[in-house]
A and B are shown apart, each in its own frame.
Chain A
Amino acid sequence: MEGLTLSDAEQKYYSDLFSYCDSESTKKVAAHGRVLELFRAAQLPSDVVHQIMELCGATRLGYFGRSQFYIALKLVAVAQSGFPLRVESINTVKDLPLPRFVASKNEQESRHAASYSSDSENQGSYSGVIPPPPGRGQVKKGSTSHDTVQPRTSADQQEPVSPVVSPQQSPPTSPHTWRKHSRHPSGGNSERPLAGPGPFWSPFGEAQSGSSAGDAVWSGHSPPPPQENWVSFADTPPTSTLLTMHPASVQDQTTVRTVASATTANEIRRQSSSYDDPWKITDEQRQYYVNQFKTIQPDLNGFIPGSAAKEFFTKSKLPILELSHIWELSDFDKDGALTLDEFCAAFHLVVARKNGYDLPEKLPESLMPKLIDLEDSADVGDQPGEVGYSGSPAEAPPSKSPSMPSLNQTWPELNQSSEDTAIVHPVPIRMTPSKIHMQEMELKRTGSDHTNPTSPLLVKTSDLSEETKINSSVKFASGNTVDGYSSSDSFTSDPEQIGNNVTRQRSHSGMSPDNTAPPPPPPRPQPSHSRSSSLDMNRTFSVTTGQQQAGVVAQPPAVPPRPQPSQAPGPVVHRPVDADGLITHTSTSPQQIPEQPNFADFSQFEVFAASNVNEEQDDEAEKHAEVLPVEKASDPASSLRVAKTDSKIEEKTAASAPANVSKGTTPLAPPPKPVRRRLKSEDELRPEVDEHTQKTGVLAAVLASQPSIPRSVGKDKKAIQASIRRNKETNTVLARLNSELQQQLKDVLEERISLEVQLEQLRPFSHL
């Protein structure tokens, strides 16, 4: 036998094949049997096969020793490459591709060849050959691969027969072959994770020093150029997957070692694939998926609609049932559309399935789409449940909206809840003050510091606005009056309308429970609000008659025209400050919707309400109570109470609200404008208010100023904008005031608690 120099890849490949054929592990292969099948699979004419056998000496020996086998394989490669069969050719022909074998067993071989080949260029063609994961369901195929794998592993580990040579070209890859292979694998692989091939090859790699080259080859493979043919696509990704697994696994020494150590193919199978690894998407695959995604949806942040995805994945020729299951797994948010992450997960699952891997029952961790928004929204969604929001804003969690600040999560919910069914007012981003408000309320109760949702609250979300519309105030009603104050705190943190709105809402909602306001309609501070008066606000206002909120209600609500609040002031004023600190969200909301002239009223109203709320301060608790269902009216009122807002109209409403609103929680329901107003008034008022009295003074001031605001909302934009600004200022003032009051309240509560404790200690027997 002439000396045979084999490249590393060849070495590995041949070892594999030899092991495969050497089922009896006798280190020699009978001329018949597997070897013949192998050679037949090489698709060479039989006379060529005979020639090869003759050349390698098998005919002489009557069997294939390892060297003969290797020579034979090399000759097969030579023959397949079209070179004349000569003994010298085995060594003279350089860059000979690995022999190609078709058919199941050959698949394995070709896969091996593929794996061994270090040629990265053949990636495209490589797709055709996918190194079969060891023990990849080979059983079905006759466990040829299995055997091959097993012996190969051992064989490889035992001896690197040939010196390691630099990586050779990659084995010829033929998509056609691949397809066949893919068929086989699918038949064979039961649970072989995609990682299988990787680890499998790694042992070989390790066996040879030049294994890294093989890895290179693997890594070199990238998804085949996109082809229309789905199958090709499928082939490529899996191939790349497998390929990449190889280098990855090799690099991942642990995996490799694990695999290598496996004595049985089963072990190899199991160990080589930790469940997560197979499902891990490599960079190449990811890139491939992204490219595919782009062909359907150029915007990477967009969605692929269900129908388009259906067509795309149907091309993979997987059964509909499996595609359906894949969809279920990958559509994480169940919205009938696929984001990029979801699409990649789905594609990866399809690829895996095509390679024979069973689909998991649950989406693997590595395929989980990173939907931060979803999580946030989920949190938000949860909160509504907690808070009991009735409405669900359009921006509800289901939408992949950016997550709101943690605190804000409550906000969104608040917004949601605040969305009062009645009020359609599109409240601008609104931090769901409700949540924060609720938290504050709780804090107050416990005497712990409430987390003022300062900035986060303010952060806002469009959801907030919605919430403001609604009954977040209602929710808050259950909260404490204190909450109303806390919401005002949040206001302070961020004078932004949104924040204000949110806080207002929250406070409003907090108050709502106390208020008579029924959950559904957001407390609309201004029943008389000119804005689409049809809004419930009017209704709510009427409902709340007798409360300041009622007056407040009259002001705000849906109708944007700022003047509304001014109208309300009258009734609002009347309201006794006992209104719970419902911060009229309305005031915030108006502010948040500056662009809507209609909402001008609301903002004014809210401001008014806020100012009213400030006045109310005397009693945190009661303030909250009255959340007007009317929403804004109460909110502004409460907010007013909390913070001395000098907001104009809103103050008026706030004034009315104060009675109801404790802290100036503004009902979310009222249109943003009123809310905004409130915020403004709060802001304006807040700085001035330190004491309750002060606040009242401020509120009064605010109230006073409010009337000055003409109800010109509808008149012209300038007036509206001016009123918006005013409301904003008021809102911030009120928010600040609110926070201060909250703080005071907390201190007082703490004192109370300590005193109670002391009392208990002093009277140990008195408790019964």
Chain B
Amino acid sequence: MGWILVASAAVILFLQNYPLYIRSVPTENELKFHYMVHTSLDVVDEKISAMGKALVDQRELYLGLLYPTEDYKVYGYVTNSKVKFVMVVDSSNTALRDNEIRSMFRKLHNSYTDVMCNPFYNPGDRIQSRAFDGMVTSMMIQVC
């Protein structure tokens, strides 16, 4: 289970509750984002277990807004292989609609599968793919 945290600030990809990929913009609040993400991990787990049967439907992969706090919103997404993507965005970023979040998660998921396809990538390693980085950067630029 990987985690990806994307925030107007951070993108963290977690696998089995340890991070596979972390990216945040701006970088100063990274620690804070880490904290948020870890707490949201619990929420995600909760949602997953609540789902019951296997999440096969694409729609179910998107967990939606996990919980809003005072100045940020956390969105979750989980893949069929229990890789969790967490996106933290500023609440001030009101322009972000649910559809956009969904599409962003979809792009993340696609990029993640591309990374997995790379035989040189061992699942569980930190993701160091430049293509993945580029995709995340473009996404975050778009967000913030």
Contacts and interface: CB of A to CB of B under 8 A. Distances in A.
B20 to A, nearest CB: 14
A541 to B, nearest CB: 26
Contacts of A331: 117-118
A296 to B, nearest CB: 13
B interface, over-half SS: loop
B117 A324 contact: no
Interface in B101-144: 113-114, 117-121, 128-131
Contacts of B117: 306, 331, 334-336
B114 A334 contact: yes
Query: Most chain-A CB neighbours within 10 Å: which of B118, B119, B131?
Result: B119
Contact of B119 (A309, A325, A361): A309
A134 to B, nearest CB: 29
Query: Most chain-B CB neighbours within 10 Å: which of A320, A334, A335, A361?
Result: A334
Contacts of A323: 120
Contacts of B121: 324
B138 to A, nearest CB: 13
B119 A336 contact: yes
B120 A310 contact: yes
A14 interface: no
A307 B118 contact: no
A768 interface: no
Contacts of B118: 306, 324, 327-328, 331, 336
A328 B119 contact: no
A324 B128 contact: yes
A435 to B, nearest CB: 24
A interface, over-half SS: helix
B128 A328 contact: no
A762 interface: no
B114 A327 contact: no
Contact of B128 (A310, A321, A361): A321
A596 B118 CA distance: 39
A334 B131 CA distance: 12
Contacts of A306: 117-119
A324 B120 CA distance: 5
A306 B114 CA distance: 13
Taking residues whose C-beta sits less than 8 angstroms from the other chain, chain A's interface range is: 10 to 19
Interface in B7-33: none
A307 B131 CA distance: 21
B123 to A, nearest CB: 13
Interface residues of B, number: 11
Nearest to A361: B130
Nearest to B118: A327
Interface string A195-219: 0000000000000000000000000
Nearest to B122: A320
Interface string A308-333: 01100100000011011101100100
A336 B119 CA distance: 7
B112 to A, nearest CB: 12
Contacts of A336: 117-119
Nearest to B119: A306
Contacts of A320: 120
A324 B118 CA distance: 7
B74 to A, nearest CB: 29
Nearest to B117: A336
Nearest to A320: B120
Nearest to A325: B130
B129 A324 contact: yes
Contacts of A325: 129-130
B120 A327 contact: yes
Nearest to B116: A336
A328 B121 CA distance: 10
Contacts of A327: 118-120
Query: Most chain-A CB neighbours within 10 Å: which of B113, B120, B129, B130?
Result: B120
A331 B131 CA distance: 12
Nearest to B115: A328
B133 to A, nearest CB: 11
A642 B102 CA distance: 42
A335 B129 CA distance: 16
Contacts of B129: 324-325, 328
A310 B113 CA distance: 17
Nearest to B121: A324
Contacts of B119: 306-307, 309-310, 327, 336
Contacts of A310: 119-120
Interface in A491-509: none
Nearest to B110: A334
B57 to A, nearest CB: 12
A334 to B, nearest CB: 5
Contacts of B130: 325, 328, 361
B134 to A, nearest CB: 8
Interface in A318-375: 320-321, 323-325, 327-328, 331, 334-336, 361
A305 to B, nearest CB: 8
Contacts of B120: 310, 313, 320, 323-324, 327
A367 to B, nearest CB: 16
A538 to B, nearest CB: 24
A164 to B, nearest CB: 48
A303 to B, nearest CB: 12
A306 B121 CA distance: 10
A551 to B, nearest CB: 33
Contacts of B114: 328, 334
Interface string A438-470: 000000000000000000000000000000000
Nearest to A309: B119
Contacts of A334: 113-114, 117
Nearest to B113: A334
Contacts of B113: 334
Interface string A252-269: 000000000000000000
Contacts of A324: 118, 120-121, 128-129
Contacts of A321: 128
A216 to B, nearest CB: 39
A414 B14 CA distance: 38
A306 B119 CA distance: 5
14 contacts: A306-B119, A310-B119, A320-B120, A324-B120, A325-B129, A328-B114, A328-B118, A328-B129, A328-B130, A331-B117, A331-B118, A334-B113, A334-B117, A336-B117
- Considering the complex of A and B, which 4 residue pairs feature the smallest CB-CB distances, nearest first? A306-B119, A310-B119, A324-B120, A336-B117
Given A327-B118, A327-B119, 20 more contacts: A306-B118, A309-B119, A310-B119, A310-B120, A320-B120, A321-B128, A324-B121, A324-B128, A325-B129, A325-B130, A327-B120, A328-B114, A328-B118, A328-B130, A328-B131, A331-B118, A334-B113, A334-B114, A334-B117, A361-B130
